[in-house]
Chains A and B, each alone.
Chain A
Amino acid sequence: MSLDHSPTRDGGGWSSPGLTTNYDEGTARSRGGSPSKKYGDLMNGGSGHVTWAKAKAGSARVQRSNEGSFMRHMRKMSSGLPYFSDRSTYAEKEKLGRGRSWKRMDWRDLPRRVGLLISRRRKYVALLTMVLLMILLFTNKTVNYWYRRTSWLGGGSKFVIILGANQGGGVMDWKGPREWAIERDSVKNKKNYAAEWGYEMEIADMSTKKRYAHEWRESWEKVDVIRNSMRKYPDAEWFWWLDLNTFIMEPKVSLQSHIFNNVGDVAYRDINAYNPLHIAHPPNGTSADPNAPKYTNYLDPEALSAVGDGDPNSINILIPQDCGGFNLGSFFVRRSAWTDRLLDIWWDPVFYEQKHMEWEHKEQDALEYIYTNQPWIRPHFGFIPQRKINAFPNKACGDDRHVPEGGCRTLKADDPEAEKTECGIQGIHYQEQERDFLVNMAGCEWGRDCWGEMYNFRQLSNHLNRGRWERVVDSIRDYFKRRTEANQPQQQQ
């Protein structure tokens, strides 16, 4: 090892008080690296005195120069050391007259010292505070809720869930314990979901009231309810209608991430993609009679386009289609002038008078009728695959066609086999494997067991969304179960 130059103190390149201080002589506290007398004598050409100016120059030099961090830490460590050193050394240091008094440990001084510590390690304190705040932000329910609600952050208050409770109840029918249980479960499910994501929640009492019972409008109250909600939540944008017999299976999935962040990809505008009603699309301004003489097509290009203007922002309604056409068990409408008009024209006494015998599903059939016959509707209409927001249980709308092993992802695009499965737009039935978002026990009141289905789906949802700890417990339990099962045949023998 060769040295370039001798480690002179005034040379400055290597003034390292931490290393050069002689601990035995009690100069360890010499912050700023003023050398011990002995050392000074040696190096400063035997001047014998450490003058104030010299010491000052040395200290300034040391504090300013860019030494390695190791050196700085050494200095800090050394400045802390006298706490634990021998009492006798203090006398020696006092002679220098530049140290602080460490004779008595004053506890009243503690706050100041902590403050000093913090002020010295500002960077680390700030970092720590940030980390703590972040942890708080992501775990604290109130903070989370507030964040998710705020329109310019999470945007949860832009969504309103409208749950139609008590359907057909009231003056027409009394509810039994099972109906109460269904209602309780369903309402709780949506309330939790709304609270989780900061959505608005509106429970609409759909019981047949006297004012509707002797009027024509029964079952069109849905329209009135949506309108009232739009008035009640003037800042909300999307309104999600839900029938009572629905269950949100994936409460950890937000509507934004599930649908609205890329509504253009999720929704389809061209009804020809899946058209169980065989509605002629796009409209051509004639009554679709092939034998009729050739009439002029009077519609504008946008109405004649299969996909409207193609801009996802122009979608004002999202309707799922089951095997028999539109399904209004779970659908979205967006606040807009267009929606006002649709809600306004949806029920009309002249339509009703002519069609009420024919329109078994009332407002659903009316909407299909308006879609078919009034071209202004179509450029703002969006359809959403049924399984996205309105999956049916098996037996509703035919039998479950299942998905292939390994899920729908294994199917290639345009695979003819897809038609026979529940994959893609024509999929209707709930697929546990695909973790469908919502299940709608449509038609369960006719010959199926509503409460049983609701109970099973609730259990399944809880099971699918159980926490990590529960998964561990479950796997251990499964392991022992398998072991006891394996042992049982041996015991029998």
Chain B
Amino acid sequence: MPGTQFPYPRKSSTPTAYTPQRSIPLHQRRNIKNVATYIVGGFTLLFFVIWLLGGGSPKGPRIPLGTPEVVIVTPLDPNLSQSMVDKIQENRKDYAARHGYATFFPNTTDYDLMPSVPLTWSKLPSMRHALTLWPEAAWLWHLSSEALIMSPGEPLRNKLLDPQTLESLMIVDKPVVPPDSVIKTFSHIRGERVDFILTQDQEGLSVGSFLVRNGEWAKFFLDAWFDPLYRSYNFQKAEEHALEHIVQWHGTILAKLALVPQRIFNSYIPEPDMRNTYTDGQYQQGDFIANFRGCQKDPTRSCDEEMAPLMSRWRELRDSQWKR
């Protein structure tokens, strides 16, 4: 009879004693159980291998090949003589070429400093500009146009930037502004944490030569230092005193700062009439940097004349070291 329902479940009328109840037969289950160990083990091994291989690659953004480690920033006054400009550029370019660094020579008048603000302030937008142009560079080095690099063979990494070297060099627990500022440099700071390396002369912090590590902190630091209210405040020594001010008032800046002995990378050349001989920081033969501090600003002095002997000495060094 089509369409009628059978009153009984349609099952075999002669079942076996043990009808399997499970959808997957028992022996298949056992198989899965046996295989499962190997599957899980295999996956674990795979992930472990991936983790091992992946762990080796550096974290954070990849640094493209050919990125300079250091950018040397020297703002140039447009009133400088062309021969002077050439000498300064030659000096830095040679050093940069040896160690794979980059150089940057902006004009001091390139940036909007606001009216009646000393041009020396332009080193800050210059540095910020270099950050924009070389976003992958590790360090920025501001070297004043009054200074010369006197040992072209020494890379900054060996000299200063290596964390261990830096830790051995840095002056801890020293008043930031000599002789008796209550604010002292941190007594415990790790080399990797330092973002700002500079030197101190007899009068205070010296900004003729300083290093800033690229990063968010650098932007904060340079912007804060360059604030219009500091520029308009008429600090006696312009940005140098502004720096002393922010370092003493703002812990987030002091915490990143390392003072190193002046002659590491900012030796001063005594003034020609020996008014100021800079006892501690005076340049001696073999020093890395010779800074003719004040030679451009002081109308009675001539950078060209003062630099002449060291310039010829530098040329000798350069040629002898290239030959080697």
Contacts and interface: CB of A to CB of B under 8 A. Distances in A.
Interface of A: 1-5, 11-14, 57, 60-61, 64-66, 68, 285-287, 289, 292, 295-296, 298-301, 303, 337-338, 340-341, 344-345, 348-351, 354-355, 369, 373-377
Contacts, number: 113
Find the residue from A2, A11, A345 having the highest chain B CB count within 10 A: A345
Interface in B226-243: 227-230, 232-233
A337 B217 CA distance: 9
- Sort chain B's interface into a size bin: 35 or more
Given A5-B13, A298-B111, A374-B223, 11 more contacts: A2-B4, A11-B13, A60-B17, A64-B18, A64-B21, A298-B128, A298-B132, A299-B128, A300-B128, A300-B219, A373-B229
Interface stretch (B89-97, B152-160, B245-253, B306-314): B245-253
B214 to A, nearest CB: 10
Contact of B7 (A1, A57, A292, A337): A1
Contacts of A14: 8-9
A337 B193 CA distance: 13
B281 interface: no
A11 B14 contact: yes
The 3 closest A-B pairs by CB, nearest first: A298-B129, A286-B112, A295-B112
Contacts of B111: 285, 295-296, 298
B194 interface: no
B224 interface: yes
A300 B227 contact: no
A351 B242 CA distance: 12
12 contacts: A2-B4, A3-B8, A4-B6, A13-B11, A13-B12, A61-B15, A64-B21, A295-B112, A298-B128, A298-B132, A344-B250, A350-B230
B132 A340 contact: no
B110 interface: yes
Contact of B106 (A296, A303, A373): A296
A224 to B, nearest CB: 13
Contacts of A11: 13-14
Nearest to B7: A1
B245 A350 contact: yes
A3 B6 CA distance: 8
B298 interface: no
A3 B13 CA distance: 13
B220 A376 contact: yes
Contact of A341 (B17, B227, B252): B252
Contacts of A349: 249
Interface string B1-30: 100101111011111011101000000000
B115 to A, nearest CB: 9
B305 interface: no
Nearest to B235: A350
B128 A338 contact: no
A12 B128 CA distance: 91
Interface in B56-81: none
Given A295-B111, A299-B132, A344-B252, A354 B233 contact: yes
A5 B11 CA distance: 12
A300 B13 contact: no
Find the residue from A289, A348, A369 having the highest chain B CB count within 10 A: A348
A376 B106 CA distance: 22
B95 to A, nearest CB: 24
B227 A374 contact: yes
A269 to B, nearest CB: 17
A348 B252 CA distance: 13
